[in-house]
Amino acid sequence: MKIDKAIEILVINNDHNPNFTDADRREAHQLAIEALKRHRQALKGFTHPEHFLLPGETTD
């Protein structure tokens, strides 16, 4: 699944939307988890990771 499609599915977040199957929702959810894992790993390489936080993400 492409990131843009996963974002679309997760943003809509409507269980009754007939355009997305449960399999689509699971795949989008899994892709989001993997993206967050990669983001977490990438932050380890920065001297000041607080400059690269996601909106709503905190350091504590």
40-52 pLDDT per residue, tens: 888 888 888 888 8
pLDDT of residue 34: 92
pTM, 2 dp: 0.69
Tens of pLDDT along 1-32? 777 787 788 877 666 778 888 898 889 889 99
Q: Tokens 């905190």 identify what position? A: 58
The sign of the dihedral angle between the CA atoms of 37, 35, 39, 59 is negative
Structure-model confidence comparison of residues 34 and 4, the more confident one: 34
